[in-house]
Structure 1
């Protein structure tokens, strides 16, 4: 490996799937020009000293913890399961969670056949559950003083009860349609998960730290822009306080005079909360017009 390679920040992301698409979109919105090629493990960023390692989600925590990659984007569920597994085998499980990202939301839930009568958590005691997450499930059981038997599966977990492998399952749920299609009902949520940006515990070189210090504000700006809107309108000058009060989460508005109008002003502001049709209708009732709500691509400061 050359000196130049050693100074390139290496980030592990999912090779394929929803987290892969979202991660690549995030980096592109941060201004990274990614050179992707089919079946390549490493993707080169042309305009920044960064390389992306495209791997399975389950490999990302270990790659970061072992120092193979400097950073990783991984679901909290995979990260926590891997850390618990490493603690049991006395392997290094140290990492720093830099930030929670705004995508990849899901939940780890226990689901039972629809015909099973569920009478609360204690009725799960002694059940055999199929899961890809035995450590998280064990922790949930210990916290609630119940024990499970496990049938560990790495795919098609939802079919286990139907073929007699298990009484129920513990698996990731996003919309619940897969459970319904397989005759299952969600009875307990044991863990909430989103994608996270993590860093290994090993110190970075000065060059890599400089790159990271550039990247983090860009990511924060993209995430903030994603949940923000830029709002413009014309409003009655004497209703300015009432207009601003309708938009909590907004920064201090910019108020500009309108040509040949002393009674009205133009208002420009950024709002970080959801801007509903009902809010626009209330603004109109206050006498506002020309109300524009626009997405924001990037924000900083």
Structure 2
């Protein structure tokens, strides 16, 4: 039950239920959970055969669906995190590590990690920033209704460990392409539709009160109206719900198809690994982080091997310096050496061209599956 207790509030209610796929699972209902989570989670019962207790289980949260899901699963596979997720269950035990994986909506992951319910999480940087903005909004509202100092504030509790190299997008302010609004300032006092209500509120608060405003931003003085939309945000302008929107843009095709254009960027986002400020097992965090970093490095580099005359070695190693330095091996043929070096994948074609120019031969490019 310790696993359950770490994931939900103490006042949650528990009810055992039967599943056709697993002997028992718990339906955990919490009436105070945020609406986005639908107040229901499905967790495995501790009766699952496992040579360890749930009390020592290290919890990681990952995206249940959406644009980052497939890349996240590939990353876990590359890091040799072995698990099988049963159909309709949002938690899975890792076979080769003392870890439980919890699959959640991307927007919920910063909350679970920030409140110490999970130790690690993968989500979008936009979601982390939205969560932090919600904490700031909560603190502003709390201090405005109760006489409290900033020392009583709730603190967002996650740290960004690393960017993961996928899921790049921008959270942008968008307006109708043929409309009257040309700059973000034109939208002050208007209605803005978004699913990132806290980031949008922060953005327009700063816009209204000035970037260099002294003291705490006051939401009571805000003239711009923020309307929360959970999906199809790009349709808000066409349907008259809002004059502008704040929404994620990847390729921009959806935005252009809706007749919109971007006039400013609120956040540049990518998939990130975040950790709790008070993790249960720092050593395990370091291990998982090292594995994930190795996978990311391997995806960014290739191994370039070639033979070159020793007299041209200095020129060649300038082209392929490697991450630390190139590996040079003497060949049986006098005056020749073999060189092995890691090269950024995006530069490999130009590198091969330059190596050919200086007389390198037998140039091979090999994929790297992992690196440390």
TM-score, normalization by structure 2: 0.74
- The residue aligned with 1:67 is 116
Residue by residue over 1:40-87, the C-alpha shift from the partner in whole angstroms, topping out at 9 and shown as x without a partner, is 021111111111111111211121222222221111111111122123
Q: What residue is the counterpart of 1:161 in the other structure? A: 237
What's 1:104 paired with? 167
Which residue in the other structure is 1:42 paired with?
Answer: 91
Structure 1 Cα separation of the partners of residues 108 and 279 of structure 2: 21
1:212 to 265, 274, 285: 285
In the other structure, the counterpart of 1:115 is 178
1:9 CA displacement:
0.8
Question: What are the equivalent positions in structure 2 for 1:199-278 lying under 5 Å apart?
Answer: 199-204=275-280, 208-247=281-320, 250-259=323-332, 261-272=333-344, 274-278=346-350
Shift of 1:17: 1.9
Q: Distance in 2 between matches of 1:185 and 1:32?
A: 41
> Using a 3 Å threshold, how does the CA distance of structure 1 residues 118 and 258 change in structure 2: closer, same or farther?
farther
Distance 2:262 2:138 in 1: 32
SS in 1 for 2:121: strand
Q: Is the 8 A contact 1:233 1:289 kept in 2?
A: yes
Distance in 1, Cα, partners of 2:104 & 2:67: 13
User: Runs in 1 of length 4+ with deviation above 6 angstroms?
Assistant: none
Contact 1:250 1:272 in 2 (8 A): no
Structure 1 regions of 5+ residues with no counterpart? none
Cα deviations across residues 176-212 of structure 1 (Å, max 9, x unaligned)?
01011111112211110112222223341xxx33322
User: Partner residue of 2:220?
Assistant: none
Distance 1:245 1:22 in 2: 34
The answer to whether the 8 Å contact 2:124/2:269 transfers is: yes
Q: Distance in 2 between matches of 1:64 and 1:163?
A: 37
User: Does the CA contact (< 8 Å) of 1:76 and 1:196 recur in 2?
Assistant: yes
Distance 1:258 1:265 in 2: 5
Structure 2 contact 120–285 (Cα < 8 Å) conserved: no
Deviation at 1:106, TM superposition (A): 0.9
Determine whether 1:88 maps to 2:134: no
Partner secondary structure for residue 40 of structure 1? coil
Contact 2:200 2:226 in 1 (8 A): no
The 1:95–1:192 alpha-carbon spacing in structure 2 relative to 1, beyond 3 Å, is same
Q: Does 1:129 align with 2:192?
A: yes
State the Cα deviation string for residues 212-247 of structure 1 (Å, max 9, x = none).
232121111111111111110111221111111123
TM-score normalised according to structure 1 size = 0.91
| 1: CA distance, partners of 2:364 / 2:191 | 55
State the Cα distance separating 1:251 from its structure 2 match.
3.0
Of residues 327, 348, 359 in structure 2, which corresponds to 1:287?
Answer: 359
Rounded to whole Å, the distance in 2 between the matches of 1:87 and 1:213 is 29
State the match for 2:208 in structure 1: 145
Structure with the bigger RCO (C-alpha within 8 Å, sep 6+) is 1
Stretches of structure 2 that go unaligned for 5 or more consecutive residues are 2-45, 47-51, 140-153, 210-222
CA contact (8 A) 1:249 1:273 kept: no
